[in-house]
Amino acid sequence: ETGVTQSPTHLIKTRGQQVTLRCSSQSGHNTVSWYQQALGQGPQFIFQYYREEENGRGNFPPRFSGLQFPNYSSELNVNALELDDSALYLCASSGDRGSWTEAFFGQGTRLTVV
Amino acid sequence: KQEVTQIPAALSVPEGENLVLNCSFTDSAIYNLQWFRQDPGKGLTSLLLIQSSQREQTSGRLNASLDKSSGRSTLYIAASQPGDSATYLCAVGGTSYGKLTFGQGTILTVHP
């Protein structure tokens, strides 16, 4: 089991609402990445934060935003929720921002938008 | 744009069989390749990480190989057990920042 924890584990929101998901990275890791995994699909990269700054972004609209805090924990915020935002959201931490380091994933947050 | 494909999409085998899962990628300029296991509704558990300079990695009954030039990796599972039933995902790290590009996974069922 990794040291990456996510909260909450499940939540249900109404279309148009806003949601905040949280991730606590593994001890010693300064980089957090967020992924969206729709049912039956592989995870899709949303963005990465390295030392409190966004370090790369996938093909997601601006209503997906994030923060990283001085202790390297992170939040994913999604505004104006749409039905298609229903998915498993995964957080991964790593010891460096580059792809050459191993990523460790949390258990995910299952978001359902109704 | 990197694309990752996994074959087969699903596999059902009797307990004890040796099996091979395949992963291919279109851009050979990668830093590493990781194999993950995912149980239903759960997060990802890292199984093996192969750096681009390596040819294979082994952990217990698992062996992963990497042929970067041909854009292929295989995950070999020896003596499969019902507890191996899960979705197996491969992911490549190929950019200067830590973006992983995933395949869609292979759903493995090992029946007693």
Which positions in chain B have a beta carbon within 8 angstroms of at least one beta carbon in chain A? 4, 30-32, 34, 36, 41-46, 49, 51, 89, 91, 93-105
pLDDT tens column, B64-101: 999 999 999 999 999 999 999 999 999 998 876 778 99
Mean pLDDT of A21-26: 94
Q: Is A53 on the interface with B (CB under 8 A)?
A: no
Q: Are A85 and A39 in contact (CB under 8 A)?
A: no
Mean pLDDT of A3-24: 96
Is residue B46 within a helix (H) or strand (E), and if so which, with residue range? strand B44-51
Contact A33 B102 (CB under 8 A): no
Model pLDDT, residue A29? 86
d(CA A35, CA B53): 27
d(CA B63, CA B48): 8
- The single-letter DSSP state of residue B96 is S
Structure-model confidence comparison of residues A99 and B44, the more confident one:
B44
Query: Out of A40, A43, A108, whose CB is closest to B102?
Result: A43
Q: Maximum distance among all alpha carbons in chain B?
A: 44
Q: What percent of chain B has pLDDT over 90?
A: 87
Q: Which residue of A has its CA nearest to B98?
A: A99
